[in-house]
Structure 1
Amino acid sequence: MVVVIPKKRRDGKSSFLKLVFYLSFREDNPGDIPVTADAFFDRPSTSKIAVFDRLIDYIDRHASPESQHLITHLPDGSHRILCEGVLCQTNTLSIETASSEMNAVALKNTRCKDPVYHFFLSWPETDSPTVEQIFESARHSLKALGMSDHQYVTAIHRDTDHLHCHVAANRIHPVTYKVADDAYDISKLHKASREMELKYGWTRTNGCHVINENNRIVRSCSKEKSMPDDAKKLEYYSDQESLYGYAVRECRPEISEILKADSIYWERIHAVLIRAGLELKKKDRGLAIYDRVHPEQTPFKASSLHPQLTLSKLVPRIGEFENAPRVMEFKNEQGEVTLTNYMVSSHYDDRLHLRDHQARMTRRLERAEAREELKLRYQTDKKEAKCPSFDAKNRFRTLSMTFRFRRAHVCVAVRDPLMRKLAWHVLAFEREKAMAELRLKLKEERAHWYRAPENRRLSYRVWVEQQALKGDKAAISQLRGWAYQAKRDERTAYLSDTVIECAVSDDIAPVELKGYTHHIHRDGVILYKKEGVTQMIDRGETIEMARPFENEGDNMVAGLHLAEQKSGEKRVFSGPREYVEKACSLVRDLNEMGETSLTLTDSLQQKRVCEIRPQDKPAPISFDSPNLTP
């Protein structure tokens, strides 16, 4: 069981209202909505007023009663309620008044700047806790924090890859109005999690406390430092591989082996980093790792790569620090490197994405360049899309000149000073009235122009969706990149277990197949339909086929045509044995007819394709046989 405490606001303005709303109401952008040219998803407003209005609607019973109802009352005074499909438990009067009750109690303690406390518990996919066990774990965690009698709202969410439970609590006691101490809260929660793991036999996870071989909970001693915060944010929010992540993947195993050896020297450590395009340098009183190709990249502590990679631990073993040796390259007349004293096999590239680091470098670079070109095209389109002025300046100037002429006419036509002054006042009033009418008219014209879908300034995500509709491969790849971090329930549901596995980040544009129409979803999935029914799904790395044996295997043949358009780096049939046998026989038939040139990457399946002979193929079932009856 994993415990996560989200970072708080630094201004002390955490809101019970927004937190309770997030726990109980889920209105996100589903990933399985088809992308269309004229329909845009409008995310509900998360402003305080909008959130409060939606909660008031619930109080007034404007929400559908079948979606929110009371489940049960518990002996301790708490109760459970199903709210918009989310099962919640709270010891307040109700979910809709929980934030108001918590705020009322929090106002009794003026010294506590931030009374909102929020954490969540997550379980691996290998564990299947019951609802009772989930809520018991939440109550046990609150007890470990000393907040067992405090107001709380607990909600179970199943909209990610892992089942998790959010807990929102008020740090102010509802009777004594004393604030609960949140010092060492992570350590307390981790210990409580280990206790629940021992009680229910769940998968053991790491943390401040671990379970040793004697089934005792002890403090953990981490040998490796955690990822720096900047690198973590870059990889999580931008899906870009950080310099730290690249160094760990390329160099940490070899550095660990070198530092375990009895005899080591600085040149061996430098050689490993040079091979990855990195360099170890002194920084202040410690060591840091830099990018050799782009020194402007922010370096990171060498001890983050390995805890032994520090001056205090290495100088006593191998002597004073030695700078990295110079890399010498000898090139021929064509500019190609023919000889070097240190081989450089890879470089860090901040354009590459984290999710496809196992893909071939050529395809990674192609994808990164396509994404960069996609962003440049959006910026160009954004600059060119300008709102028309509606000739507002000339229209105001014309109106002003009209009243100026009328004022001059009054000066000539009206000789009485009092009447002239009165006429000027009337003209001034009419002028302001006409100016106001013109401003309202211009406002209405602009609003009418903005309401037209073709004139709307699109956000980057919506613009990418429209480009994907046009068959842009980079846009489809970008949609899949966004879906990589998305929640599982928001993605397009899986179609079938009969699959053709392809290589990592093996993206292609939609293929025109006879009898099929293609549709693109917001998560980058391409659906191929026949007569309105989904027959195939292309997710990039997999091709799923429904009903592969119907109509003489039409869907399997179409799936093979899709797989032929892929890179061919990986092409493996996955699914029931009957499906794999049938697919292998189809590969041989199509290759013999010259329609495709497919080669399977699985040696056993390729051997099966080569072994199949026409006489080996199963004979079609005939009801004329005396042994079979219809």
Structure 2
Amino acid sequence: MIAKHVPMRSLGKSDFAGLMNYVTDVQNKDHRLGQVQVTNCDAVSVRDAITEILATQHTNTRAKGDKTYHLIVSFRAGEQPDVDTLRAVEERISTGLGYREHQRVSAVHNDTDNLHIHIAINKIHPTRHTMHEPYYPHLALADLCTALEREYGLEPDNHQPHQREAASRAADMERHAGVESLVGWIKRECLEEIKAAQSWGELHQVMRDNGLEMTPRGNGLVIRADDGTMVKPSTVSRELSKPALEKRLGAFEASPEQGERKQAKREYQKKPVRSRADTTELYARYKDEQKNLTAARGEALAAAKRRKDRAVADAKQKAATRRAAIKLVGGGRVSKKLLYSQASATLRAELDGIHKDYTREREQLYEGHQRRQWADWLKQEATQGNSEALAALRAREAAQGLKGNTLAAQGKAKPGHAPVIDSITKKGVIIYRAGRSAVRDDGDRLQVSTGADRAGVVEALRLAAERYGDRITVNGTTEFKAQAIRAAVDGRLAITFADPALEKRRQALLQDNFSATRKPGVPGVGKAPPPVARAGRLRSLAQAETLQIEAVAVTQQRPASAPTPAPSELARRKVKLQAELSAKKENANQRKGRGR
């Protein structure tokens, strides 16, 4: 578990209402938004809580800093704590930062590879109206996360950063955007060569060989790439700071001017991070789309405006025709005035509808033509059914296999219905809708969310058989394995479990269900009559093939205290019953003869 404060660089961008709109937005996904909790507010709904918190923030007019504290608590991939654990974690972390009495709203998000909580806290105290700023929050958050992991049995994580803030931001950019940063490229390609330089001349030569240039800037140094991207050397490594270099190489010496620059052995380019798949063609298509994005959006907006103008002109033309018809129609002044009023109202309604449709279309065009990072573009393409984009997401080094309660399958796949895709993560994990729960698919195995109902587990088993095979491997807790067995039996799924113990238990449950539904010795009810009864005539009692009367079966219900009949009595009853049966048979034959 990692807790991280998200600072707002620009005070003008700090907006509690805007933050809550993002945090509580479902984004057309069924399983994005989880539990939403409002704390220390008189309001019950989120909308009313936003109004109350904004009113509290406005009571402090002297504070110049950001009045909103945005915190993200992220769990390890595969971890899905229950609702009580999430609520306790949110409460403990907020209290540990000194915000126990402050107003806050938290929301759980499930649409990424790591379940996480967004906590929006009002820094202004609701009664004292003073602003609280935590002291060294990263240290307090690290200690709180360590204690919570031990207390709730969560998977331990690294809470102590080993990189400077700028280097950490570069790593985050690579992870989220999927494109190499200059800091990461230097570390992977030429950092050791730079460190091995024994003079300023050798250092500048190494820089030129890699398409870089080190120049003074202010009181320090910067490394500039050919495309204009700059980074501080100390961000790459503390050994490359200006004091460290001057201590090792002497006073700084600028790179000598050269008449003709040689071709560099390698140079930095903004391209996808290392991957197990070849993304050259996909990335070229992405660059072309981004280059022509503005022009394409302009053309689409212009076409939408032309359609709107034509619709407005048509509506006005119809209104003019309607008014001309009213003018020609005979009638009194009052009736014509009423007709003109109705025509004007109809025109206004049509124009309002046209403008609303145009506004909605503009929003959709801006949404569809907005600039996206490489990873976000791959997500969009994968959602639209591009298998190459999905493979590129799953081939990233950041992608890892699903953990926890998972299902894997082998054997013969049984294609069936196409499941509904809720969303796709940046690691290529597809989230399917399964009843009230969700099923995650990374291409190798399926993961069922904690607390999933039986319908969700049945859907996951069916999906595993349809996509990967009917021989299912179940991994996870004992409770999940038992739930999978019961779901397979109740759903009557044609699957087998790879684990012999699970398969044996499934077969036993199937046999118990079969024995409970059919009594031994009683044949099942057929859907069609037997051949002898298909001529449209009745059969006599003696012709009934399923009638079997045995002595042991002819017993009467009697109280428990009644004495058991003697053997001679049973014999007499048997003889009497056989006589009655023979008489009935003879009477039936006589009636049959008379009918002829």
TM-score (norm 1): 0.49
1:283 maps to 2:217: yes
Deviations 1:128-185 (A, max 9, x none): 7676665454444334433333344455555433343443433333444443244544
Q: 1:172 aligns with which of 116, 124, 127?
A: 124
Aligned amino acid, residue 227 of structure 1: A
Q: Which has the larger Rg?
A: 2
Residue pair 1:392, 1:442 contacting (<8 A) in 2 also: yes
How far apart, in 1, do the equivalents of 2:117 and 2:384 lie?
A: 41
**1:305 CA displacement:** 1.2
1:227 maps to 2:176: no
Alpha-carbon distance change, 239 to 343 in structure 1, aligned in 2, over 3 angstroms: closer
Q: 2:287 aligns with which of 353, 361, 372?
A: 372
Question: Hey, what does 1:459 align to over in structure 2?
Answer: 368
Superposition map of 1:300-311 within 5 A: 300-311=231-242
Deviations 1:316-365 (A, max 9, x none): 32234252796989xxxxxxxxxx8x871x33222x234xx2346xx333
Question: Hey, what does 2:581 align to over in structure 1?
Answer: none
Residue pair 1:88, 1:156 contacting (<8 A) in 2 also: no
How far apart, in 2, do the equivalents of 1:305 and 1:27 lie?
A: 39
Q: 2:62 aligns with which of 111, 116, 141?
A: 111
How far apart, in 2, do the equivalents of 1:187 and 1:465 lie?
A: 35
How far apart, in 2, do the equivalents of 1:376 and 1:2 lie?
A: 37
Residue pair 1:159, 1:488 contacting (<8 A) in 2 also: no
**1:369 CA displacement:** 0.9
How far apart, in 2, do the equivalents of 1:538 and 1:145 lie?
A: 37
Q: 1:347 aligns with which of 252, 267, 272?
A: 267
Aligned amino acid, residue 181 of structure 2: S
Q: 1:121 aligns with which of 63, 73, 81?
A: 73
SS in 1 for 2:187: helix
Question: Hey, what does 1:15 align to over in structure 2?
Answer: 16
Aligned amino acid, residue 29 of structure 1: N
Residue pair 2:322, 2:343 contacting (<8 A) in 1 also: no
Residue pair 2:146, 2:156 contacting (<8 A) in 1 also: no
Q: 1:246 aligns with which of 185, 200, 220?
A: 185
Deviations 1:180-218 (A, max 9, x none): 24454444434444555576786252337xxxxxxxxxx
Residue pair 1:197, 1:203 contacting (<8 A) in 2 also: yes
Residue pair 2:315, 2:350 contacting (<8 A) in 1 also: no
- Identity fraction in percent: 22
How far apart, in 2, do the equivalents of 1:225 and 1:123 lie?
A: 21
Alpha-carbon distance change, 516 to 370 in structure 1, aligned in 2, over 3 angstroms: farther
Question: Hey, what does 2:247 align to over in structure 1?
Answer: 316
Alpha-carbon distance change, 26 to 497 in structure 1, aligned in 2, over 3 angstroms: farther
How far apart, in 2, do the equivalents of 1:435 and 1:266 lie?
A: 82
How far apart, in 2, do the equivalents of 1:370 and 1:451 lie?
A: 28
Residues 303-312 or 93-102, more deviating = 93-102
Deviations 1:247-292 (A, max 9, x none): 2332335545x38xxxx23355445544543333333443222223
How far apart, in 1, do the equivalents of 2:96 and 2:418 lie?
A: 54
Question: Hey, what does 1:59 align to over in structure 2?
Answer: none
SS in 2 for 1:179: coil
SS in 1 for 2:71: strand
1:145 maps to 2:97: yes
SS in 1 for 2:186: helix
Question: Hey, what does 1:86 align to over in structure 2?
Answer: 35
Q: CA RMSD in A?
A: 6.2
Alpha-carbon distance change, 194 to 550 in structure 1, aligned in 2, over 3 angstroms: closer
Aligned amino acid, residue 111 of structure 1: R
SS in 1 for 2:214: strand
Residue pair 1:3, 1:121 contacting (<8 A) in 2 also: yes
Residue pair 1:519, 1:526 contacting (<8 A) in 2 also: no
How far apart, in 2, do the equivalents of 1:376 and 1:520 lie?
A: 33
Residue pair 1:2, 1:123 contacting (<8 A) in 2 also: yes
Question: Hey, what does 1:298 align to over in structure 2?
Answer: 229
**1:546 CA displacement:** 3.7
Alpha-carbon distance change, 365 to 148 in structure 1, aligned in 2, over 3 angstroms: same
How far apart, in 2, do the equivalents of 1:441 and 1:109 lie?
A: 47
SS in 1 for 2:240: coil
Aligned amino acid, residue 308 of structure 1: E
SS in 2 for 1:207: coil
Name the structure where helix makes up a greater proportion of residues.
Answer: 2
Aligned amino acid, residue 27 of structure 1: V
Question: Hey, what does 2:436 align to over in structure 1?
Answer: none
Superposition map of 1:378-417 within 5 A: 382=297, 383=299, 386-387=303-304, 388=307, 389-390=309-310
How far apart, in 2, do the equivalents of 1:446 and 1:178 lie?
A: 46
How far apart, in 1, do the equivalents of 2:76 and 2:380 lie?
A: 36
Alpha-carbon distance change, 288 to 470 in structure 1, aligned in 2, over 3 angstroms: closer
Residue pair 2:286, 2:377 contacting (<8 A) in 1 also: no
How far apart, in 2, do the equivalents of 1:459 and 1:518 lie?
A: 25
Q: How many equivalent residue pairs?
A: 422
Deviations 1:294-315 (A, max 9, x none): 3xx2311122111121332222
Residue pair 1:279, 1:324 contacting (<8 A) in 2 also: no
**1:538 CA displacement:** 10
Alpha-carbon distance change, 130 to 89 in structure 1, aligned in 2, over 3 angstroms: farther
Residue pair 2:108, 2:117 contacting (<8 A) in 1 also: yes
Residue pair 1:273, 1:279 contacting (<8 A) in 2 also: yes
Residues 537-546 or 166-175, more deviating = 537-546
Q: 2:159 aligns with which of 180, 193, 206?
A: 206
Residue pair 2:7, 2:70 contacting (<8 A) in 1 also: no
How far apart, in 1, do the equivalents of 2:38 and 2:321 lie?
A: 69
How far apart, in 1, do the equivalents of 2:83 and 2:40 lie?
A: 17
Question: Hey, what does 1:3 align to over in structure 2?
Answer: 3
**1:470 CA displacement:** 9.1
**1:15 CA displacement:** 2.5
How far apart, in 2, do the equivalents of 1:458 and 1:169 lie?
A: 29
SS in 2 for 1:11: helix
Question: Hey, what does 2:484 align to over in structure 1?
Answer: none
Residue pair 1:315, 1:321 contacting (<8 A) in 2 also: no
**1:375 CA displacement:** 4.3
Deviations 1:401-429 (A, max 9, x none): 999xxxxxxxxxxxxxxxxxxx9xxx9x9
How far apart, in 2, do the equivalents of 1:129 and 1:473 lie?
A: 32
